[in-house]
Amino acid sequence: MASVASRIITFAVRGPIDRGDLPGLSERACELFAANRGCIGACDVAGLNPDAVAVEALARLQLAARRYGCQVRTRNASDELLALVAFMGLGDVLPE
């Protein structure tokens, strides 16, 4: 059985992110993934502060992606951000 390769789209999330930014980020993510169903989203997070709001933003991105058959994978995450994601139990949800 042959597998179909997913298309990869790239985008970036820059910080700092405030909690009030999350609804707008989620809305834009839904638009992006709706237009690119089934894709893998390579999300550059190099400028993202390693805090709980950033992790929530990434989790919301992953949730939005899954609604459209997509998946988000982080790129250029700092060691601190990766450690926080793992500490919060989301390492399997937010792969690098």
Sheet holding 40-44, edge to edge: 8-12, 40-44, 71-75
Q: Domain limits at 36? A: 8-87
Give a yes or no: residue 3 inside a domain: no
Residue-wise pLDDT tens digits, 6-31: 799 999 999 899 999 999 999 999 99
For 56-90, write each residue's pLDDT tens digit. Answer: 999 999 999 999 999 999 999 999 999 999 999 98
Q: What is the CATH classification number for the domain harbouring 48?
A: 3.30.750.24
User: Does residue 74 sit within a domain?
Assistant: yes
* Whether the Cβ atoms of residue 43 and residue 72 lie closer than 8 Å to each other: yes
